[in-house]
């Protein structure tokens, strides 16, 4: 009986030590585009949170090549329908507002939205879509847009890893931005009151 208990204990310990390493090796590989997030408070209690994954330039030509101008051509993942850029990598990039805000002077209700972008050589369209779960923009549906704004990108110093941030902090407003490669895409956020 004692011998059976020792063998059982040995088997259980072996499984505890072996299974996690096998699980890690098979399904928990470090992604190429790491997850990131940034948060900014406006006023007394309006929080803005952006969650995204950070692809690297890695010597590639980004704008007009890796990320096409206009909509990307359809593929098998999008059911052959053209789609916008996911503004990052992997899952949808999301932005969440704890209170109603103005984006470029247009009202957007509190909530969590996926961000999709349609890059252009001179101006970009930013789409705030109510469908905030998904893998990229493949299943993007314009009918679910809560808001679309058009902004002007600006030249910026080289940024290897895509990032979001906030500039021009003025207490009740800020300019959020996406920065990657040598482009910065700003959009103004302000409180409604």
Provide the phi-psi class of 74: left if phi over 0, else alpha when psi is between -120 and 50, else beta: beta
3-state DSSP call for residue 13?
helix
Mean pLDDT of 93-100: 98
Domain range annotation of the chain: 1-30, 31-191
The whole-number pLDDT of residue 193 equals 75
Confidence label for 33 from pLDDT (cuts 50, 70 and 90): confident
pTM metric for this prediction:
0.83
User: Measured at the alpha carbon of residue 98, what is the angle toward residues 92 and 103, in degrees to the nearest 5?
Assistant: 70
Dist. CA 68–CA 48, nearest whole Å? 28
The whole-number pLDDT of residue 29 equals 79
């Amino acid at each position: 009986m004692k011998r059976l208990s020792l063998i059982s204990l040995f088997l259980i310990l072996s499984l505890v030590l072996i299974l996690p390493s096998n699980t890690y090796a098979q399904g928990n590989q470090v992604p190429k585009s790491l997850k990131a997030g940034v948060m900014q408070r406006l006023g007394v209690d309006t929080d803005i949170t952006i969650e995204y994954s950070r692809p690297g330039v890695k010597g590639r030509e980004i704008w007009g090549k890796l990320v096409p101008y206009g909509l990307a051509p359809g593929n098998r993942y999008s059911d052959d329908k053209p789609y916008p850029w996911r503004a990052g990598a992997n899952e949808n990039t999301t932005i969440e507002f704890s209170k109603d805000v103005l984006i470029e002077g247009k009202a957007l209700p509190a909530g969590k939205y996926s961000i999709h972008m349609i890059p252009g050589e001179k101006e970009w369209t930013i789409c705030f879509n109510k469908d905030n779960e998904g893998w990229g923009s493949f299943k993007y549906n314009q009918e679910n847009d809560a808001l679309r704004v058009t902004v002007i990108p600006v030249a910026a110093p080289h940024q290897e890893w895509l990032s979001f941030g906030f500039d021009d902090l003025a207490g009740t407003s800020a300019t959020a931005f996406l920065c990657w490669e040598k482009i910065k895409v700003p959009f103004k956020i302000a409180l409604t009151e």
